[in-house]
Amino acid sequence: VPVFPWHSLVPFLAPTQSD
């Protein structure tokens, strides 16, 4: 049975940081 890491379920939304 495959096991998936928790973070694969969460979209990776990376805003552009200006600082």
Q: Provide the binding-site residues for another protein, judged by CB under 8 A.
A: 1-18
Task: Extract the tokens encoding 12.
Answer: 């990776």
Shortest Cβ 6–another protein spacing (Å)? 5
Tally the residues of the chain.
Answer: 19
What Cα–Cα distance (Å) separates residue 7 from each residue in 2, 14, 18, 19?
15, 14, 25, 26
Smallest distance from the beta carbon of 2 to another protein, in angstroms? 7
